[in-house]
Amino acid sequence: MRSIRDSIAGLMGLVVVVALALAALKTDSAVWSGSTALATQGILFLCVVGVVCRGEAERPRWLGAALFGWGYLTLAFWLMNDSSRLPTLTILDGLWTALRLPLASFPPIPGRTGPGWSSNLELTGHSLWALALAILGGGLSSWLFRGRERVETTEQVRALPAPPAPVIAYRSLVVSLTGLVVVALTAVLGVGLKPGLWAGVTFLVACGFLGIAVVGAVVGPAPRRAAWIAPALFGVGYLALTLGWRPYESRWPPFPTVLVLEELRPFWPQRVSGFPFVTDARARASARMLERLEPPMALHFPHETPLSQVLRNIQETAENRDGEPFPIFVDPIGLSEAERSISSTLVVDLDGVPLKHGLLACLKSLDLEFCVADGYLKITSPSNIVRPPAGLDPYMIVGQCLFAMLAAVVGALASLVVMGRVTWAQARGD
C-alpha cells in the first residue's frame, strides 16, 4: 500500500516539475526556469531523505536517484559559465528539432545547431536532465542491488517482530514553524537598527534554528533522527544556494524568490531596502536627492509620450517645487543595451504616489531602471546598476533568511511523503 502511495506522490511531483519545465521552455522566462530548478532540487533533497529514512530494501533506489541527480546538477553548477559544453543540451537540441516542439525564440548560441538555448532554457534543460538521470539511477540501483527475498512460512512470518513505525516529523515541523515566526519577528523588530546589524542579527537567528535541525539530524535519537533530515536539507541547502547564486554576476537567471524580493524592494523605506540604489550613500547631495524622491508627484501621460518629455516634466516639476536643480543623466550605453532611446514612448497615469514609485513604473515599461549617483539621477538598464552581492545586501540577506525558514517548514511537510504517517501516540514514543 505504501509503495502505491509513494508511486502516486512521486508521479505527482514529477508532473509538477515537467509542467513547470514546459512552461519555461515555451516562454523563456526567468521565473519559470528558476521555479523548475527549485522544484528539482526539492525532489532531489527528498531522495536524500529517502536514503536515511527508508528500509534496507528500498535504500539502493533512493541512493541511486540522489547520486545520479545531484551528480549531474553539481556538474552543471560547476560549469555554470560554460555549461553549454555538456552534450546533454545538444541532445535536447536534436530532440526538439526532430519533434518540432515549440520553443521560445532568442538569439542562437554561436557554433551550435538546432534552436539554441538561452541562459533561462539552459537552467531548465539541466533541471530536466537531473530528474531524468535521477529516475534512471534509481531504477538501475533498485534492479542491480535488490536483495533476494526469503521464502518464509506463515508461522515464521507471524513470529517476526513488527518493524518499528516511522516517526512523524511533528517536532521538526514545530521547530521550523517556531523558527519562521522568530526570524520574522527579529526582522520586523530590527528594522530600526543599522542595516548591517539588522541583517547580521536576523541571519544568526535563522542559522540558530537551522543549526538545531542539523544537530537533530546528526546526533538525535535514532528513531527520531530521520525527522530532522528534510528541514535541515531544505533550510540550509536553500540558504547556501541563494546566497552563493550571485544572480547579478552569473549569466544564469536568479531564483524566483530573488525576483519576488526585488519586486517588493521599492515599497520599503530606502534605509531598509536600499532602493533607489546609491553609489555614494554617505554623500550629502545623494541623501538630498533621496529625500526629493519621496514626496508624491502627479504623472499624467495617458497617451504615448516620449521618455524625454516625461523626464523633462519630472525635472521641471521638482525644480519648481523645491527651488533647486534636479539633475537627471540618461545613460546612452544603458539605453542601447535595453534597445531603447530617449524618444521611446510610454503610457503612465499616476497620482498620489511617491516620485520614486512613479518614475520606476515609467522606466519599467521600457525595461529601464534608475539609481542615485553623486547627487544626480541616473537612467540606465538594470544590468548597468551596480548592486551589492547577495551576501552583502542587508535587505536580500533578511529576505532569504525568511525564505530559508519557510523552506525548512516545506521540507518538514514534504518529508511525510517519504517517511509515511503514524499516529500521534507513536510519534510521541508512547
CB atoms within 10 A of CB 430: 7
Whether 391 is covered by a domain: the verdict is: no
Place of cell 520606476: 360
Give the range with max mean pLDDT: 24-28, 115-119, 155-159: 24-28
Is the pLDDT score of 276 beyond 80? Answer: yes
Q: What are the tens digits of pLDDT across the range 14-51?
A: 676 667 666 666 666 777 778 888 888 888 888 888 88
Is residue 209 within 8 A of residue 405, CB to CB? The reply is yes
CATH of the domain at 290: 3.55.50.30
Q: Which domain holds residue 359?
A: 278-384
If asked whether residues 157 and 293 sit together in one domain, one would say: no
**Final residue before a domain boundary, out of 349, 369, 384:** 384
Question: What is the mean pLDDT of the segment spanning 72-101?
Answer: 66
Whether 217 is covered by a domain: the verdict is: no
**Final residue before a domain boundary, out of 119, 140, 163:** 163
Distance CA 238, CA 386 (A): 25
**Final residue before a domain boundary, out of 135, 163, 191:** 163
User: Which of 66, 392, 390 has its CA nearest to residue 257?
Assistant: 390
Question: What is the mean pLDDT of the segment spanning 404-430?
Answer: 66
Whether 188 is covered by a domain: the verdict is: no
If asked whether residues 16 and 155 sit together in one domain, one would say: yes
The per-residue pLDDT for 2 is 45
Whether 426 is covered by a domain: the verdict is: no
Backbone angles phi, psi at 283, to 5 degrees: -70, 135
Give the range with max mean pLDDT: 49-58, 66-75, 173-182: 173-182
Domain count, the chain: 2
Whether 265 is covered by a domain: the verdict is: no
Whether 123 is covered by a domain: the verdict is: yes
pTM flag (> 0.85): no
Whether 260 is covered by a domain: the verdict is: no
Whether 83 is covered by a domain: the verdict is: yes
